[in-house]
Amino acid sequence: MIDSFVQLMNEFTNMPVPLKPRQALGDKMGQQEDAEEYLGFILNGLHEEMVNLKKLLSPNNENLTISNGPKKHLVHEEEQEEQGKGSEGEWEHVGPQNKTSITGQADFVQTPITSIFLGHIRSVIYQQSSEESTTLQPFFMLQLDIQSDKICTVPEALESLVAKESVQGYTTKTKQQVEISRRITLEKLPRVLVLHLKQFVYEKTGGCQKLIKNIKYPVDLEVSKELLSPGVKNKNFKCHRTYRLFAVVYHHGNSAKGGHYTTDVFQIGLNGWLCIDDQTVKLINQYQVVRPTAERTA
C-alpha cells in the first residue's frame, strides 16, 4: 500500500490547471464507494504497514507489540471490567476535589501517520457512589453526529459531541440496573484534524439513508477549551487548538446508495482553491467553498 501511495503521489506535479485528463477514480466497476470509509482504510492501512516495517527493523523491541489502529478502542469497557483495578494498561487518576478514577489505555506504536492524524478522546463513565471509569480512545477521524435540529454548524456539532449524556439499561456485575452518565472530551488534538459529518444514518428498520442537511463550517476553527479534558485545558497551547480549513469532500445526490463525490482543496502554490470533479479541475474562490448549496453536502 505504501508503494502504491508513493506511485500515486509521484503522478502529481506542479502543472498549471487544468490538469491533463485522467480516468475518474470515484467508482470501481460501477460500484459506489464511500469517501470517509476509503480514507479510514488508507490511513489505517498505511499505519499498519509502517508498524510492520518498524518491527522488521527492531524485531527485539518489546514496545512494538501492538498495531491496532483507531478503528478499535484501545481498551473496551468489557475488557476493563475483566481486568480490574491495577491491571496492566490501567492507572488510578486523582482529579479535581481529590476524586479518583480508573483510567485504561494501551500502548500505541508511533508512525508518521499517527504523528499527523492521530488524536485521542477521553470517555468517562460516571456512576453514583462509585469511582469514575475512564477510557482513552484513539481516532484518525472525529465522528460528528449532526442529526439534531439544534446542530447547524461544525462548532455546534463539536459542543454536542462533548455534552454529558445519560446511558440507559446499564447493568452491573451483580445484574443490578444503575443510572450512569457518560461524557466525551478531547484529550489530544492531531496536527491535521479530519471531521466526519455523519450525513448517512441507519434506520431502525434497517438500511441506510442520507440526511439532507447543510452544516456551516468556518475557514478558521478554534477548538474551545470547553471541549478539552480537564488535565489538558489548563495548559496554554492555543496555537495547537486553531485549525485552518484546507480541504472539503462533498457528496452529491439524495441517496446513500449512490451519488457523486467532488472535493475543494486549497493549493499552496496557487494560493487559492481548486474544485476537483473527476478530471475537471477549476479555480474557485473561498466564498464558494464555505457557501452551502442544495445539491451537495460536506
> What nine digits make up the cell of 39?
480514507
**What cell does 164 get?**
454529558
Please tell me the predicted confidence (pLDDT) of residue 68.
Answer: 46
Residue 158: the pLDDT is 95
Enter the C-alpha cell of residue 114: 499517527
Phi, psi of 206 (to 5 degrees): 100, 160
Which residues of the chain fall short of a pLDDT of 70? 13-32, 60-107, 129, 168-173, 233-240
* pLDDT tens digits, one per residue of 52-69: 999 888 876 655 444 445
Between strands 119-127 and 177-188, the pairing is antiparallel
Sign of the torsion formed by the C-alpha atoms of 95, 101, 102 and 103: negative
Dihedrals phi, psi of 260, to nearest 5 degrees: -150, 145
Bond from prior residue into 18 cis (ω within 30 degrees of 0)? yes
CATH topology of domain 2-11+33-74+89-192: Cathepsin B; Chain A (3.90.70)
pLDDT value at residue 83: 35
Specify the pLDDT at position 275: 96
